Chains A and B, each alone.
Chain A
Amino acid sequence: MLGFIKKDIAMIKSNFKLIGILIVVYTIMGLMGEVDISFILPFMSVMIMISTFSYDNYNNWDAYSISLPNGRKNSVKAKYIATILMILVVSIITIILSFIISYLNTKSINYGQILISMFGEIFGTLLVLTFMYPIIYKFGVEKARIGIFLIVFGIVFIGGFLLQFIDLSLIANSLSFLEDYLIIILSLIMVMMVYISYKISEKIFSKKEF
């Protein structure tokens, strides 16, 4: 499986120039107080990972990968592991930059706030990617883009409509006893999200024909 991960990491690495430019731009904007640097993570992760799928689809890698030893299983597993590795690396870069920006802007570093904000970003990024991957494996990148847009639009529209009739503070109050365990609960949810998404993608790819 390592070989498949190396191939995905090589594809991610080929975007280094773009990643570098984005980090510089966001850092400057962060220093000017224009933007929260932690937004780099979701934006960059989603963009880079989708581009690896696009190259795989466009260059017929998926069919070829099946002709390699254990290709059906390993190419999906490798994609998830490469994603997690990339999120870890981008997270570390973002945290360090956030510390530096926070220090330069306010002469102090609010470690807790930065780390919690990063945790939220990682959760959000994984939520989007784990939701997207099975759709991409099923329909391919191009069709999945439209599908994802329609689903997100549907959720926002229906959610917005339903929220008119729900008292959120009531729910928040009734769940307030979970506050101390929030990080643990969210971490467990993240692990479950990745695992379920991986299993669905693996199942889809195991039946896929090219």
Chain B
Amino acid sequence: MSQAILKVEGITKTFPGVKALDNVSFDIRPGEVHALVGENGAGKSTLMKTLAGLHRCDGGEIFYQGAPLSLSGPLDARRKGILLIHQELSLSPELSVAENIYLGAWQTNRFGMLKKRELRRNATTALEALGCGFGPDVRLGTLSVAMQQMVEIARAEAFSANVVIFDEPTASLTDSEKDQLFQTIRGLKARGVGIVYISHKMDEIFDITDRITVLRDGQVQGTVDTADTDLNQITRMMIGRTLDAYFVKAKAEFGDEVLRVEGLSKRGLFSDASFSVRQGEVLGLYGLVGAGRSELVETVFGVRRADAGRLFWKGREIDWPTPRQSIDMGMALVPESRKEQGLVLMMGGRENTSLPHLRRFSDLTVMNRAREMAVYEKYRSALSIKTTGPDQAVSQLSGGNQQKFVLAKWLCAEPGLIILDEPTRGIDVGSKSAIHELIADLAEQGLAVIVISSEMPEVLGVSHRVLAMSEGSIVAEFKGDAMTEEHLIDSVSHAREPVAAE
């Protein structure tokens, strides 16, 4: 067993009111991929930010190559050979690939001019070592997300990194891009680089990592060899219980049809989509990112106008609604990106909950706080949302609690149909199952529910019926026993192949 390249001993980091890291110890050996898992808020981000020089810890020590490490900032960490690859890439789209690799660490000559030729040569070497199919002069913004990620990884070569930390690297990659990334990671590993791999996706963790460290509430629950463990053990360590109670499906008692869509098309986004959903039914919509799922439901909701198609609401054909009309009709859309579309972050939970229903909570035009407060309290306790008060800015809440407020906001309209777009993306396991239970509850109360998800177990676990979407078309429908992961993958990948061959 080789000596650890980076060793963390008993570090502690406190933010006001929260102990983000509590006496955390772990180590990274050269040539290993070490997974860091835990629910949101368990302290993963804080830990890696501390390693990458973005935070300073309050107590404990970090040893790097045998000596105590102190970092003045992220650039210092990079120069010393510790590289953090963010989930949201930290690159500048207007600069060239070479300039991005050396972002902030450009070598200059004595007049302060960039040493362009040297920059370019070094960048080329780094890119070639990774086998990237593009050169150093390309403007970064023209590359795909996966390629941009390669540019970040090229920094590992350029700075001869000894430790590379990946934060949710596959979040926005397709399957083939993911395979490529894994190859790159294995390449780094073969050269003796120590790798920290942070992810929510358990299959990836079991695929690529050698050891797993589990964090919960800022404390290390344990480190295990990946080969000696299984999903159940890890989950138990993460949340203190097993996966069995993970998915709850609503009873299959359906009422009248709520929404029917026929031949909906929008050029460049989706074509000829038809489906319907009934009271008490959970309809799953599965597809990879970019398959047109979100665009489809947004169009039904009225965010954009379709080119063709017909819409029936409770059996009657209707004109294309605006979002306001959809809401009034009893439709609710819970969007995928909470921050961009769902919540007003500077406002508190109370104001966010009432935002789509201001008319209901106001007399003439004056807000009625008592009525607003009563409804806020009702949904806060029904969804067991944790806040310090009705006016605590939602930006301070955890991802799970934010998502619950997004739900509260739409539920308080008492809609007939609720569309949930990736309802559990980026939230912790505990909140996830709370939301799954909620979906089942809603359906049993007679709501029609549409759930969009790119997580197969989730979409199969909560839905009565699943539509598979690919390249803008609904390619298959499964129900009952036909609802299996194999079928779903099959339907989606067959539709993709001819396109990929072009």
- State whether these chains interact: no
Residues in chain A within 8 A of chain B (CB atoms):
none
